[in-house]
Structure 1
Amino acid sequence: MVCRFTDLLAGTEGIIKRYGGDITRTTLANYVIALAKLAQPLINLIREAQNNGPLIMADETRIQVLKEPGYAPTGDKFMWVTLGGKPDQQSVLFDYDPSRGGHIPMRLLDGFTHGYLQTDGYAGYNEVCRENMLIQLGCMDHARRKFIEAQKVQPKGKSVKVTKADMALSFINKLYMIERKIKHLSDDERLAVRQEQSKPILKQLKKWLENNMPRVAKDSLTGKAMTYLHNQWDKLNVYCTDGQLSISNIMAENAIRPFACGRKAWLFADTPAGADASAVHYSLIQTARLNGLEPYAYLNYVFKKLPYAETVEDIEALLPWHVKANKALTTS
């Protein structure tokens, strides 16, 4: 069954019964899996287009799949997400795999070379960056969150002195203030501002970090935040070299959030086929939204056309950026 959409499928089953039909939840779930298999060639073309772009943001989140061969039913497996492509061909792609190993990015990013890959600090992406000659781009949000965690456990009160977590966040927040001011500028204009305003702040932060790291216990929350910042430093500075880049990986995190929120309701996937089907449908829905298409209208259009698609050109015509010309499918 495609994840555990128990309530949804039960509701659909009940609606069908009221109109005289008799389709079980299992059959409905199998329909979803069958549709995902039908859409796989379209997903493959979207992946190819994404890997032809200059920048990909990547993230992964946990998912339980009960009947994954060779794995414990309650153990964590992973849903990977990548966001990127050319500016006018943006896509969000989900992919299920029971592993979190470095060979997964190698598979997903096959053909993506000499571009930027933006991730958190997970080392599983290092191999693909080496092999595909990608420039690794860090996520300042992750660094900031670690200092916020340290700040939360600080003593409260007017008499409390400014802490090192407070100081680090003051530097980082200045960087974000600059980003908010320049988000509507062109790439060249953003680059110029970052070179003039952000780089000096980063230089001050680096000097502060080097001076204060030896004074903080490494196993404290502040110490761990400093270590993360230090280890990721070069990657966290890359965004200042190109105006098209972002200071954080928040777009990939936002892309995966609907899946993470949905997971709270359906809890797990029963089979790998269900998890794979979920990945396909989430990919189509999120990519439609990213391209300004109404998801239901796009899926309705695609699944009516796919059975009659006989050539690669027929499937290419169903790519979201090609369908956008149809005004009836766009969001208001």
Structure 2
Amino acid sequence: MPRDAKDIQFAELKDMTAQLNTTIAALTGTIQEKDAAIAKLTEEVSYLRRKLFGASSEKRPGIDPNQLSLFDTDEGMEIPVADVEEIPETVVREHTRQRKKKPTLEEQFKGAAINRVVVGSLTDEEKKCPVCGAGMVPIGTEVIRREVEFIPARYEVTEYVATTYECPKCKQTEEPQFIKDEGCPPALIEKSYATPSLVSGILKNKFVLGLPFYRQEQDLKRSGILITRATMAAWAILVFQLYFQFLVQFFHRELLKRHFLMMDGTPVQVPKEPDKRPQSKSYVWLMRSGEDGLPPLLIYRYSPTRNGNNAVEMLESSTPGLYLMVDGFQGYDKLKNVKRCACYAHIRRYFLDAIPKGSEKDLSNPAVQGVAYCDKLFRYERIYKEQGLSHEQRQKRRMKDEKPVVDAFIKWLDQQKMSASSNKFNKALTYARNRQDILLTYLEDGRCSLSDNMSENSIRPVVVGRKNWLFSDTVGGAEASMGIYTIVEMAKFHGLDPYKYMKYILEQRPSYRSTDEELEKLAPWSSSCQEICK
């Protein structure tokens, strides 16, 4: 049956409507995708601007007091401790920052030698009494002014002179007899003019003050001393191989006896590394002791790669039941028979980076909520430290105060949904969820740390120094540099002067024949080092 014109027109309009709906739906989807992409790019630009121009501190402003708290307790509450028998009741009052007292000149330069100059400007006539004319006598002194003089480093050349002796009776015979006295101390480095004081001064300049060898070469040249940067680099490698490495190995053996360790790493460039491009990255591994109350220990080690097998090798023969605090690097997953602790500083940092600009105090924002959970834990830890709790007391307080917070945090993580507009929040959520199985590990012992901040602080000297010396030219140089950093930072850990400590080690000259008992005497916590190198 033929259709009339209205039916045909209606069918065409119906088809056109369907096509328009399809087009609108496609355009709507495209617009939504573009809006999501724009939101993600805007977030990334805002994040990069904060990193480039914003404050580097991770401190954040306090939550608005008129806003409801995420927790039942207030921001500044005092935590009672009377309900735990072993912990005496302590009140931690609010801390108020006080202006530092300006140090006196004696305090500023207490380590400098004092040269007293007695003022003698009065003539004999001026020393007579203006009333009776009698000569006055001194009755006391007082300091009227102090000055500080700078005396540049002074270099001396020591010449060992050998005396030759001859026999006066055999002198006229066919076999005259001679004896040469060559009993001078052995050289630090064979066929070299290097001395413990000279080498230690050069190493202190680079590994403590961050002064590269080429700058030291220029400075020495201005003083009339010609020591090339190549010579300095060779000395650094040789003293490490001949002396320092045996003490570093001893520190490593002592570290493996500990039950609470931390690890971290940072890139370093070694242009002349075999089978690698000069621009490729190598790595420095740090392993240090945790909050176990024992003398602090740490070592740095160079590695051509960031493979987790390096961590496995460094922890080989470690103590069973070891607690290890590390960041989220997946290479640590290769470690077996260790109890991993999650770093809440890294978790907090991811959520902190996800907070949109202007929303820092908005507790309705999920990123702010994630930071608030972490802040609550760190606040408890700070109060425990101020109260001076033992690790047994801290473990009990953690179970009472912090475990409910961690349980609530885990439950909160499960309830969160991925954001369509914030990659940063998605990364933070993924990072935290991937560590859900180890978020509670630190509660098992009060000596476990809440964060990896201590190891990050320990890796910082290498990071800061790297900005000055830029790279290690060879593998041998990289290995030596990390060994010397170990010696320097161990000295600083124990309140020693790094220069004096390195000089003392080079004077004692440990070797592969040195026993652990002998190396123990060269450890920075030993009484002899504390007395000589303080």
| TM-score, length-scaled by structure 2 | 0.57
Q: Which residue of 333, 348, 355 maps to 1:126?
A: 333
> Would the aligned equivalents of 2:350 and 2:424 in 1 still touch at CA under 8 Å?
yes
2:305 aligned partner: 99
Query: 1:121 and 1:324 mapped to 2: Cα distance?
Result: 41
Query: 2:379 and 2:364 mapped to 1: Cα distance?
Result: 21
Q: Which residue of 480, 496, 513 maps to 1:277?
A: 480
Shift in Å at residue 311 of structure 1? 3.0
Moved more, 22-31 or 311-320: 311-320
Task: Tell me the SS of whatever aligns to 1:111.
Answer: coil
Give 5+ residue unaligned stretches, structure 2. 1-202
> Would the aligned equivalents of 1:33 and 1:274 in 2 still touch at CA under 8 Å?
yes
Shift in Å at residue 209 of structure 1? 1.2
Q: 1:87–1:215: structure 2 CA closer, same or farther, 3 Å change rule?
A: closer
Report the AA paired with residue 281 of structure 2: D
Report the AA paired with residue 505 of structure 2: V
2:323 aligned partner: 116
1:51 matched to 2:253? The reply is: no
1:162 aligned partner: 364
1:88 matched to 2:290? The reply is: no
Moved more, 83-92 or 179-188: 83-92
Query: 2:353 and 2:378 mapped to 1: Cα distance?
Result: 18
Report the AA paired with residue 225 of structure 1: A
Shift in Å at residue 298 of structure 1? 1.1
Shift in Å at residue 307 of structure 1? 5.5
1:185 matched to 2:389? The reply is: yes
Q: 1:308–1:239: structure 2 CA closer, same or farther, 3 Å change rule?
A: closer
Query: 2:305 and 2:527 mapped to 1: Cα distance?
Result: 34
Shift in Å at residue 200 of structure 1? 0.6
Q: Which residue of 221, 231, 238 maps to 2:441?
A: 238
Q: 1:27–1:156: structure 2 CA closer, same or farther, 3 Å change rule?
A: same
Shift in Å at residue 217 of structure 1? 4.2
Shift in Å at residue 280 of structure 1? 0.4
Shift in Å at residue 221 of structure 1? 0.9
Moved more, 242-251 or 264-273: 264-273
Which structure is richer in relative contact order (CA contacts within 8 A, separation 6 or more)? 1
Q: 1:161–1:81: structure 2 CA closer, same or farther, 3 Å change rule?
A: closer
Shift in Å at residue 162 of structure 1? 2.6
Shift in Å at residue 30 of structure 1? 0.8
> Would the aligned equivalents of 2:247 and 2:510 in 1 still touch at CA under 8 Å?
no
Query: 1:49 and 1:11 mapped to 2: Cα distance?
Result: 36
1:197 matched to 2:401? The reply is: yes
Shift in Å at residue 99 of structure 1? 0.9
Query: 1:322 and 1:10 mapped to 2: Cα distance?
Result: 35
Report the AA paired with residue 198 of structure 1: E
2:414 aligned partner: 210
| TM-score, length-scaled by structure 1 | 0.89
Query: 1:159 and 1:321 mapped to 2: Cα distance?
Result: 46
1:314 matched to 2:518? The reply is: yes
Query: 2:425 and 2:530 mapped to 1: Cα distance?
Result: 52
Shift in Å at residue 206 of structure 1? 1.3
2:469 aligned partner: 266
Give 5+ residue unaligned stretches, structure 1. none
Q: Which residue of 500, 504, 508 maps to 1:297?
A: 500
Shift in Å at residue 43 of structure 1? 0.9
Shift in Å at residue 218 of structure 1? 9.5
Q: How many correspondences in the alignment?
A: 321
Query: 1:180 and 1:104 mapped to 2: Cα distance?
Result: 34
Greater Rg by CA: 2
Query: 2:518 and 2:426 mapped to 1: Cα distance?
Result: 56
Report the AA paired with residue 97 of structure 1: S
Report the AA paired with residue 309 of structure 2: H
Shift in Å at residue 116 of structure 1? 0.9
2:51 aligned partner: none
